Structure 1
Amino acid sequence: MVRRGGIIAGLVVVLSGLVAVPASAATPAFVVANGVTQPIHAFADAVRETVWVDIGLDLDGDGVGDRVATDLIRPATTEPVPVIIDASPYYTTSGRGNESERKSYDSAGLPLKFPLFYDNYFVPRGYAVALVDFSGSSRSTGCMDTGGRSEVASGKAVVDWLNGRATGYSAASGGSPVTASWSTGAAAMIGKSWDGSITQGVAATGVDGLRPIAAISSWYDWFRSDGVSFRSFGTPTSLASGFENANARSRCAAVRSEMTAGAPGNGDYTAMWQQRDYVRNAANVRAAVFSVNGRADLNVKAVNWGQWLDAVPASVPRKLWLSQTGHIDPFDFRRATWVATLHRWFDRWLLDVPNGIENEPKVSVERAVDQWSDTADWPPAGTRSRTLYPVAGSVAGVGTLRTTPGTSTSSFTDNGSGTPSRYIASPGATSARRVVYSTGTLATDLRVAGVSRVTVAATPSTSTAHLSAYLVDYGPATARGSSGEGIRTLATESCWGENRPGDDACYRDTVATTAAVDAQVIARGWADLANYASLSTPRTLTPGTRYTMTFRLSTTDWTVPAGHRLALVIAGNDSSMTTTPGQLPRVTIGLAETSVRIPLLGTVPAARSGPAPEVVRIQPDPVPGRLDG
């Protein structure tokens, strides 16, 4: 929490019963009853304004500091209040939330519609809400730089302004200085997707106040994976071009050129990617972290949240939610619990309400559709990394996972059109496209919790080769459907907060989609074998030569239930996600040097031969999107 002068003054906190305030006294900033802040401020009377905050850069080169438009709404009280900030490029383009809400303004130019429910719910309870347009987007000046220093400054400068360390103005150019004398200085940033990613970037500067949803912790891992480029994600330049305003389009060619040069199509890790890697500065984080992610999110891939939480100091208060959805805000898959939990989180870390939320279980995981289980900590106590090895069986390309290495080799041919749903089908039969190795049938549950890493000893027949690897839970289950990212929007509505003209608090309800399945991918990863020795400098592969490469699989917290099997599938290019190599190879895997290191809680059964599980019902491969665009 950020506080001006180390004190939040003039606030009334009561743990039981409302405080009677004399008519002559100023309205308190907040009142607590039943452990949470209460709606004591008339939403219709809330103060609305726009302030343009100087971010300390001039990337558009006009000789004037770049300014970000900050639309504010706050309770009409003379007492100082904390602020919830969501910085975004989406407010006048694709919009926010499941209903794509956009900002709007009244005839006087004052902000009218504030997307999402934060203003409706929290302003009556004594919070201000600030919705910030990224530099170069909507009504801000400057340039968009796709996760770079300008966008991080868009959020950090607003926090600094709230604390008297930056300058705000009444207009995008010129205007008079505006101060935030009404602010306590306590600020929390929040946001899903691109918004949450910049939240992490701001937190890595050491600024307090953080709660991202499905956020990118390293932009390399959104566009690339261990040397291979993702097929449908474009480039940092093309992504920014979809959201930048007219000023940015005309004045930011140098920024676009820098991004283009820094993102070579071969998937190399460059200095530009390093600048956009928030994990390397995560040790600076002092803010309380609430991270929400979807296991099936192929947009903001799950490796992002795992590496972020691993790097954030252990002393930082944290909470983690893991759903089975795709790229979905928790407001649309666990609405009532989400609002109640977020309310208590902000009360605790912005207003010092002693509600004990920091002492509750830190992890909540959706184990089955709409069925949640809590764990005290992350990673869960007792988790140990185990190395498992593929061992050939009597069927070519099919074998077991054991705790000791095998011998011999297995091969597959990359035809350029393979996808996960095809790779994991028919695990007991030989496939020309992949190899598969599984444990025996589990006698007890086996929990996979963390980032797994696969080491592959691969001999390609050509000078280019891409690899894919998957951890698979084989066994019958009811899962969230792959359509709609796991939800379906209903015609009914529920309301969360207060209404005022031009800004209602009601949102369409959702329900989980479901599908009966016999196999589920629980972690996945992709790599370019040419980067076996370095992500920044690829090597030219010599056909017929064996190369060993270790690459990451996505972070997961998944329980493979008793009666199921855990399997490792290794294949060539994943045409649903990654670009196709220049020459399609036949790849031979040396089993003695190939392994997978998995963080496990439970016992891996002794390997034994047996009939392969029947796999008939496989979901279609989900289609990744462009952030929230």
Structure 2
Amino acid sequence: MTTVRARVTILVSSTVLSLATVTGPAMAAPIPDDPGAGAGPAATPSVPEHIDTATKSTQPVYDYDAAIRESVYVDTTMDTDSDGKDDVIAVDIVRPVETALAGVKIPVIMDASPYYSCCGRGNESEKKTYDANGVIQKMPLYYDNYFVPRGYAVIGVDIVGTGRSTGCGDVGGKDEIDSVVDVIDWLNGRNTAHTADGRQVKATWTTGSVGMIGKSYDGTLANGVAATGVKGLKTIVPISAISSWYDYTRSGGVPYSDDYMPWLGGYVGHDSPACEAVRGELGDNDDDETGDYTAFWSERDYLKDAGKVKASVFMTHGLNDYNVQTNHFSQWWTALSKNNVPRKLWLGLEDHVDPFEFRRDAWVDELHKWFDYWLQGLQNGVMKEPMATIETAPDVWRNYQTWPAVNRPISVPLSAGKLGAQGKGSVTITDDPDLTEDDIVADPTTVIAGRQTFLSAPLPVPIRISGTSSVTLKLKSDSSTTPVTARLIEYGDAQRYTGVRRTDVSSCEGASTDYDDSCYYTVEKLTAQSDHGIVSRGWIDAAHSKSLSKPTPLTPGQWTTVTVPLRAQDEVIPKGRILGLAITLSDTEWTSPNDTGATIDIDLAGSKLNLPVTSGTIAAPTKLTPIDVDITTPTQRPDLHDPTN
């Protein structure tokens, strides 16, 4: 097929469509408002030009500079700002002109986000920009630069109440999810859309096959939309994404912060009295003061609807992510596994970081294969690859056939100061809200008020912890409830990952124009020599241990069992390291507990550490010897809820 090169601009402010000089065969008539609608069947080749049947991959054959850029508004039946008019959802589209002229229908890669206007996307906080006519000019991130030349349309959706969409967002609730579903319905001919001046626009240029992608809030929307089972959504790629907003704002009834939902709604949403009222309702219904799981949180819990997911899922997460913590990917992965959803997983050492930043070339290549398989139907073998790819040391990646790799979960008993030996009697902890994590993990053989530590003998062989650990405690309290905090630590001198830092070097992924380049700064991984590392953390309100929705107050002086789930992890602990378990009560450094000041007794015989390991044993030391932990750099608590991270 002869490549046609053209600059096309569809104006949303009038019915005019302008067409610049065309290089190639003369065109008999201007491109219609919907270019795909005017092309006859004879113009469609049996195999589109962008598909290489030999390599089973799409090729960058289309002119990105000449791509069609258009902005439309998808209709809804919602009136979330109560102005008497149905909300509309702003949708910005970049797609190849050549497929439109040839009548070749193409799939869609969609990033739905609340961040396009307020905060930007990616490490460089890119925002959407528009030309003088209000038509999309620069789409953030590299997706359009890379995939449009390969025969995809790339769409950026401003969810309800954000950007150029109208209405008020409900932070992870039904309205936000439905606003994206309405766009997918339009792409599949089940809904309507119009330009800024009211002309109806149909998406006859697309196959209707949609893949959603995005990091953090964007990936969370992908999870939520997939949980509706909407037809046309073929795959999602959630990056560091939330699976339950309850679990994002609290841990087992212990809030991470107060009034987060209305704050986030105001951070990303429209500044209007109507939206302030909506955000006021969010604050009224979040139950921060109780920590209970209610109908409000059930609406924002995508796990309960995992059985509706029809799309495949390629998820990626950082094992040191304490913004969107690792329980989010693990519980979503488990729910999808139960329903046999086709899936793939990448786990990096990083925190809240897109793999585009820390493993760029491999990520783009794998993403390309994934979308080619699920959206273009190319049998490239991506689903025959290992299911899980995990970073086991900085820039060292291993493939595994499944995740988690648990084949021998073990229960490690507790005794006075020791892990791995059955204890007798009890130990006491009186809450000290002023304890920091540095205090808690330092000098583990020293008695420090407010904590109890338990240490193993040096590991005789390496062990791999793969999955979700937990701590079961038989305890009695002098209060009706108390937070309980657990930390799993490995002691031993080693070079450990500490974060990433942006460099002055950039690399380019895809085509560029003067106003939308595909080049982004790279990052480098930082490591530091240290004598300990935190394997996992966990928090629970003791009254919520048996039920998050119907807490059971503790009876002071009466024994009960409380289980503290730790955050999911996949880590190999080398031979010779010592495992440590630290138990404290309230944690005012990482959480905002509603109750403090309790004293508890822990019955050692009825308590244990539960570890998902693949090999090895955990033995108690014959005697406790001092372990020097020299913390020269204080542990940096991340801003858990900074949405721009």
Q: What residue number does 1:139 align with?
A: 164
Q: What residue number does 2:315 align with?
A: 291
CA displacement 1:289-325 (0-9 Å, x = unmatched):
1111111111101110000000014532211111111
Moved more, 591-600 or 512-521: 591-600
2:524 corresponds to 1:511: yes
2:353 corresponds to 1:334: no
Cα distance between partner residues in 2 of 1:582 and 1:151: 33
Q: What residue number does 2:68 align with?
A: 47
Tell me: CA distance 1:168–1:112, structure 2 relative to 1, closer, same or farther (3 Å).
Answer: same
List aligned pairs for 1:112-511, cutoff 5 A: 112-171=137-196, 175-207=198-230, 208-231=234-257, 234-246=259-271, 249-253=272-276, 255-265=278-288, 266-313=290-337, 315-380=340-405, 383-392=407-416, 398-402=417-421, 405-481=422-498, 486-511=499-524
Partner letter of residue 206 of structure 2? S
List aligned pairs for 1:534-613, cutoff 5 A: 534-610=547-623, 611=625, 613=627
Cα distance between partner residues in 2 of 1:257 and 1:580: 22
2:311–2:341 Cα contact (<8 Å) kept: yes
Tell me: CA distance 1:29–1:56, structure 2 relative to 1, closer, same or farther (3 Å).
Answer: farther
2:216–2:324 Cα contact (<8 Å) kept: yes
Partner letter of residue 278 of structure 2? V
Q: SS in structure 1 opposite 2:287?
A: coil
Cα distance between partner residues in 2 of 1:625 and 1:119: 30
Q: What residue number does 2:85 align with?
A: 64
1:176, distance to aligned residue in structure 2 (A): 2.6
Cα distance between partner residues in 1 of 2:463 and 2:239: 27
1:87–1:154 Cα contact (<8 Å) kept: no
Cα distance between partner residues in 2 of 1:418 and 1:101: 39
Partner letter of residue 154 of structure 2? V
Tell me: CA distance 1:616–1:253, structure 2 relative to 1, closer, same or farther (3 Å).
Answer: closer
CA displacement 1:526-545 (0-9 Å, x = unmatched):
11123234322344445444
Moved more, 365-374 or 101-110: 365-374
Moved more, 145-154 or 561-570: 561-570
1:517, distance to aligned residue in structure 2 (A): 1.7
CA displacement 1:48-105 (0-9 Å, x = unmatched):
1112112432222233322211110001123111110011110011100000000000
1:558, distance to aligned residue in structure 2 (A): 1.2
Partner letter of residue 89 of structure 2? V
Partner letter of residue 259 of structure 1? L
2:50 to 23, 30, 41: 30
* Structure of larger gyration radius: 2
Cα distance between partner residues in 2 of 1:318 and 1:369: 25
Cα distance between partner residues in 1 of 2:278 and 2:311: 30
Partner letter of residue 47 of structure 1? I
CA displacement 1:358-384 (0-9 Å, x = unmatched):
11111111111111111111122x523
1:579, distance to aligned residue in structure 2 (A): 1.3
Moved more, 489-498 or 550-559: 550-559
Instruction: Give the structure-2-normalised TM-score.
Output: 0.88
Tell me: CA distance 1:439–1:243, structure 2 relative to 1, closer, same or farther (3 Å).
Answer: same
1:469, distance to aligned residue in structure 2 (A): 0.7
CA displacement 1:106-130 (0-9 Å, x = unmatched):
1121101100000101100111100
1:383–1:449 Cα contact (<8 Å) kept: no
2:472–2:563 Cα contact (<8 Å) kept: yes
Moved more, 409-418 or 116-125: 409-418
Count of equivalent residues = 592
1:464–1:584 Cα contact (<8 Å) kept: no
1:574, distance to aligned residue in structure 2 (A): 1.8
CA displacement 1:411-433 (0-9 Å, x = unmatched):
22322122333212222222212
Cα distance between partner residues in 2 of 1:242 and 1:340: 34
Q: SS in structure 1 opposite 2:222?
A: helix
CA displacement 1:134-193 (0-9 Å, x = unmatched):
10001101221110001111222221111111222213xx71321110001111000110
2:483–2:595 Cα contact (<8 Å) kept: no
Cα distance between partner residues in 2 of 1:583 and 1:487: 35
Cα distance between partner residues in 2 of 1:359 and 1:619: 44
Cα distance between partner residues in 2 of 1:420 and 1:324: 20
Cα distance between partner residues in 2 of 1:320 and 1:478: 26
Moved more, 116-125 or 151-160: 151-160
Q: SS in structure 2 opposite 1:178?
A: coil
Gaps of 5+ in 1: 1-21, 393-397
1:195, distance to aligned residue in structure 2 (A): 0.6
Cα distance between partner residues in 2 of 1:557 and 1:155: 33
Q: SS in structure 1 opposite 2:262?
A: helix
Cα distance between partner residues in 2 of 1:84 and 1:421: 44
Partner letter of residue 494 of structure 1? S
1:477, distance to aligned residue in structure 2 (A): 2.0
Cα distance between partner residues in 2 of 1:513 and 1:95: 25
Q: SS in structure 1 opposite 2:329?
A: helix
Partner letter of residue 237 of structure 2? R
Q: What residue number does 2:12 align with?
A: none
Partner letter of residue 313 of structure 2? V
Moved more, 416-425 or 114-123: 416-425
Cα distance between partner residues in 1 of 2:85 and 2:336: 36
1:234, distance to aligned residue in structure 2 (A): 3.6
List aligned pairs for 1:95-110, cutoff 5 A: 95-110=120-135
Q: SS in structure 2 opposite 1:280?
A: helix
Tell me: CA distance 1:553–1:285, structure 2 relative to 1, closer, same or farther (3 Å).
Answer: same
1:253, distance to aligned residue in structure 2 (A): 4.9
Gaps of 5+ in 2: 1-24, 27-41
2:105 to 80, 92, 103: 80
Cα distance between partner residues in 2 of 1:57 and 1:230: 32
Q: SS in structure 1 opposite 2:169?
A: coil
Cα distance between partner residues in 1 of 2:277 and 2:295: 16
Partner letter of residue 597 of structure 1? N
Cα distance between partner residues in 1 of 2:259 and 2:219: 20
Partner letter of residue 314 of structure 2? F
Cα distance between partner residues in 2 of 1:160 and 1:609: 66
Partner letter of residue 630 of structure 2? V
1:472–1:521 Cα contact (<8 Å) kept: yes
Q: SS in structure 2 opposite 1:209?
A: strand
CA displacement 1:430-456 (0-9 Å, x = unmatched):
221211223322222211111222222
1:409, distance to aligned residue in structure 2 (A): 1.0
List aligned pairs for 1:513-532, cutoff 5 A: 513-532=526-545
Cα distance between partner residues in 2 of 1:46 and 1:300: 36
1:613, distance to aligned residue in structure 2 (A): 4.3
Q: SS in structure 1 opposite 2:240?
A: strand
